[in-house]
Amino acid sequence: MSRYFIFILFAFFFHTGALSQELRWMLQLTKEVKGAFDLFDVDEGGSLYLLTTGGQLKKYNANIDSLAVFNEVRRYGKLHSIHTQNALKTYLFFKNFNVVLILDRMMQLVQKIDLRKSGLFQINSICPSYDNQLWIFDEQNAKIKKIRLDGTVAFESTDLRLVFSEKLSPQKLIEHQGYLYLMDPKQGIYVFDYYGGFKEKIPVTNAIALQSLGKDLMYSNNHETWMLRADKNEVICRLINEQPLAARQTYFSPKLVYVLGARGISIFSYHINQQP
């Protein structure tokens, strides 16, 4: 497999916006997984989960050795998202039917959660919680809810229509550093504590991706990706998306960037160089 270096230009920002200096990321292609894939995710141990266009969910270890396959994706409809924060459990969310499947580390089905049985019909996204439950945003009554794995509601916030003048329609939820983040592409990123208390709003629009990276957040639209120091709401750097990062999906780990393109997954190592 050929290896090559690619330099991507960043702008570095202080929170005052008064100073800036250039940084460069140096990327090196390390691995590729060729094929036709629709979605992927990466767990904390570096295992890669790939959804093929044929409806198989394949799991690979960090060396891209095949570990397991889940063949029954199509039985439950179109897979909307994969959640692998816990390496021992994989959560699959089927938005059209409001169904969540839980797989073990060998990709065997261990539980099915039908959110409709709990009266939850307008759910756009989920995320696992630190205490082995699920966060959701119920658009029907504009509440953040935490769901037990039997489908019952363990916690719900106040009606957020009483808090915000704008209508919220979060497309992504993540836990990060003790807070819950809701990403609404039209409105911004909303930050709540674990009790549903509103903390702040990050005023970015047109975001299509949001992820945790250590103490930082990564969020992006079709053209740019930002790294944000979340505890100070401070932009650290901004990436102008050029090839190979102008892709259908990207994922940043502390040492690698995973890029989904038309021919498969490309995996790059990286480090950041400050320019003199």
> 155, 146 in Cβ contact below 8 A?
yes
170 burial level (CB within 10 Å; 0-12, 13-18, 19+): buried
Find the domain containing 113 and state its range.
36-118+253-276
Query: Do 81 and 135 share a domain, yes or no?
Result: no
Identify the residue with better confidence: 5 or 189: 189
Residue 11 resides in a domain: no
- Over range 169-182, report the average pLDDT: 95
Residue 54 resides in a domain: yes
- Predicted structure pTM score: 0.89
Residue 52 resides in a domain: yes
CA nearest neighbour of 172 among 124, 230, 122, 229: 124
Q: What is the pLDDT of residues 53-91, one digit of tens each?
A: 999 999 999 999 999 999 999 999 999 999 998 889 999
CA distances, 203 to each of 66, 125, 181, 234 (Å) = 41, 20, 13, 12
> 168, 176 in Cβ contact below 8 A?
no
What is the CATH number for 59?
A: 2.40.10.480
**C-alpha–C-alpha distance, residues 150 and 148, integer Å:** 5
Give SS3 for 107: coil
Q: Which strands make up the sheet holding 143-147, listed edge to edge?
A: 123-128, 134-138, 143-147, 153-156
Query: Do 130 and 112 share a domain, yes or no?
Result: no
Q: What is the pLDDT of residues 125-144, one digit of tens each?
A: 999 999 999 999 999 999 99
Query: Do 151 and 71 share a domain, yes or no?
Result: no
Q: What is the pLDDT of residues 107-121, one digit of tens each?
A: 999 999 999 999 999
- Token output for 250: 């990207």
What is the CATH number for 194?
A: 2.120.10.30
